[in-house]
């Protein structure tokens, strides 16, 4: 679902080197776990923050574009619900609660 506001930036983000790419993967995994405080610490401590973010954007883009039609409908619903809900609390503001095994 194009937004109509997607325009290329003024230039490419820095390409991650091997170390920044490993940080990108770790950041993705930490976000997947819902551990916002650790994700924030990881990104804040990175010497290559722009490269890590660029890598994260690339990973998310590949992941999201690879979803099948039913998953894309879920993503569209999630985007619509996010518009209605408004902004969440500050990133890292809530404590990390590990998942419980059901």
Closest CA to 64 of 75, 73, 50: 75
CA–CA dist 28, 34 (Å, integer): 10
Q: What is the pLDDT of residue 7?
A: 65
Mean pLDDT within 32-58? 91
Q: Is the pTM of this model over 0.75?
A: no
- The DSSP output letter for 48 is T
Q: What is the pLDDT of residue 27?
A: 95
- pLDDT-based confidence at residue 9 (cuts at 50, 70, 90): low
Residue 3 predicted with pLDDT over 80: no
Residue 35 predicted with pLDDT over 90: no
Per-position DSSP letters for 18-79, written without gaps between them:
HHHHHHHHHHHHHHHHT-HHHHHHHHHT-TTHHHHHHHHHHHHHHHHHT--HHHHHHHHHHH
CA–CA dist 102, 96 (Å, integer): 18
CA–CA dist 40, 78 (Å, integer): 23
CB 39 within 8 A of CB 27: yes
């Amino acid at each position: 679902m194009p937004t109509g506001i997607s325009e290329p930036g003024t230039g490419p983000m820095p390409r991650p080197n091997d170390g920044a790419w490993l940080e990108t993967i770790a950041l993705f995994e930490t976000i997947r776990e819902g551990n916002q405080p650790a994700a924030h610490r990881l990104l804040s401590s990175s010497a290559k923050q722009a490269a890590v973010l660029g890598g994260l954007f690339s990973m998310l883009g590949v992941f999201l574009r690879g979803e099948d039609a039913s998953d894309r409908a879920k993503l569209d619903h999630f985007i619509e619900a996010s518009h209605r809900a408004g902004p969440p609390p500050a990133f890292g503001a809530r404590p990390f609660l590990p998942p419980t095994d059901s």
